[in-house]
Amino acid sequence: MADSETVMQDLMDYRFSTQGQLNGHSFGNILIAALAGIGGDFYKGVEIAGQLLAIRGKVIPSTTTNVTLVGSTVSGQRLVGESRVGAAGEHLRLVALYPPDAPAHPDAMRAIEEADLIILGPGSLFTSIVPNLLVKDIAAAVANANGLKMYVCNVAGEAGETAGLSLLDHLNVIRYYAGTYSVDIVIANDNLLGGNVPETVSLIDPKQAWQDPAVRVLADIIDEAKPTRHEPAKLAAAITQTYRQHRGKRRRLPLLWHNVQQPAHFNGGEPVGANQQSS
């Protein structure tokens, strides 16, 4: 990746840390919102962002409806907005979208249906990946798709949001929201850098006991200079090799939901709805 591309990636990933209204917000989201204003709608804003960033391929939003992410923490806090959910400071019990019936974009549904390979992640579990699965019909489209489905787990936990969660916990969160047929293969980093990481970084150890129908693929996919991130070339190679190896022999998850273990931090309860919002 060229230096300018690296700077742009850092910029798109940047979250403001201030005392003002921008605190916790992603620069990437703000840029797309501005481009949506210029282009006339959200979908056009995403298209312009793709052109601006020279993205190869096509970026399709899961929905063009103006939705709000709402979260409920294990201590009972109700958080409204992606920035507040991401800065929860403790584990999340449930997340939901409001309105809950936002329709999926037809192009997104078509792309999922026609895809040979569907990759979930990497990205913030509760504020980047799961929200797309909360859009009406998206999770069902993924579950029913014929393409090979891979979940790329993050290399490190995120403070509050996923700190302390195991690889299997991450997988089961995806299943909780997308169903039992949502993942065939899990790709996880197995280079823990000999423990030589800053105290603030908690790498996810993938070598726990694995009794699960999903295929687990372990590979060195970490960016050693930035140990909370994947190294793009390593990850691309791992995905390509895994797809070539498994595309003709798909594994399916258990048919019955009760065969799937819920994440340890999930204590039941109804999804957060509009009448439960608070700041």
Look at residue 274 and tell me if it is in a domain: no
pLDDT higher at 269 or 197 = 197
Look at residue 68 and tell me if it is in a domain: no
Same domain, 26 and 139: no
Cα–chain-centroid distance for residue 185?
15
Cα separations in angstroms, 60 against 43, 96, 203: 7, 21, 31
pLDDT higher at 25 or 166 = 166
Same domain, 33 and 116: no
Query: CA 199, CA 182: separation in Å to the nearest integer?
Result: 34
Same domain, 45 and 111: no
Q: Is the pLDDT of residue 71 over 60?
A: yes
Look at residue 27 and tell me if it is in a domain: yes
Q: What is the DSSP string of 95-107?
A: EEEESTTPBPPHH
Structurally, the chain folds into a number of domains equal to 2
Look at residue 217 and tell me if it is in a domain: yes
Domain range for 44: 1-59
Tell me, what amino acid is at 133? L
Query: CA 118, CA 125: separation in Å to the nearest integer?
Result: 16
Same domain, 242 and 163: yes
Cα–chain-centroid distance for residue 260?
20
Same domain, 256 and 123: yes
Same domain, 35 and 125: no
Same domain, 39 and 116: no
Look at residue 73 and tell me if it is in a domain: no
Question: pLDDT (tens digit, 9 = 90+) per residue, 9-41?
Answer: 777 778 777 777 777 677 877 887 888 788 778
Look at residue 72 and tell me if it is in a domain: no
Residues 118-154 as b/e (b if ≥16 CB within 10 A, e otherwise) read bbbbbebbbbebbbbbbbbbbbbbbbebebbbbbbbb
Question: pLDDT (tens digit, 9 = 90+) per residue, 122-164?
Answer: 999 999 999 999 998 999 999 999 999 999 999 999 887 888 8
Question: pLDDT (tens digit, 9 = 90+) per residue, 75-91?
Answer: 999 999 988 898 888 88
pLDDT of residue 249: 63
pLDDT of residue 181: 86
CA angle (118, 35, 154) in 5-degree steps: 35
Look at residue 87 and tell me if it is in a domain: no
- Looking at residue 170, which CATH number applies to its domain? 3.40.50.10680
Q: Is the pTM of this model over 0.85?
A: no
Look at residue 38 and tell me if it is in a domain: yes
